[in-house]
Amino acid sequence: MQLLIVVYDQGIDASVMELLSHLDLDGWTKQEDATGAGHTDPKMGDAIWPGLNNILWLELEDDHVEPVAKAFRHMQEAYRLQPGISLWSMPITAW
């Protein structure tokens, strides 16, 4: 099993939710209004550093990680100004 963590710009939440409805997933968890800094300007949800992120936590079979990650990248590439999406995966043990 793998945990796929998807951090994405909150502005594309509707597109992400639509993508999730088309993927064959058993379930997911979404954390909204995440702040932080990465490869671009910080997102702190205030007047100085506007914007927020959402985080998805997806438990996937090993062979599903790559197709799901590619689906997120394909969705990102469909935007003229590509929104921020970061993806990480790690092995997990479900209890």
Q: pTM score, two decimals?
A: 0.92
Q: How far apart are CA 28 and CA 60, in angstroms?
A: 10
pLDDT at 16 > cutoff 80: yes
8-33 mean pLDDT? 95
Residue 67: which pLDDT band, with cuts at 50, 70 and 90?
very high
For the chain, what percent of residues have pLDDT higher than 70? Answer: 100
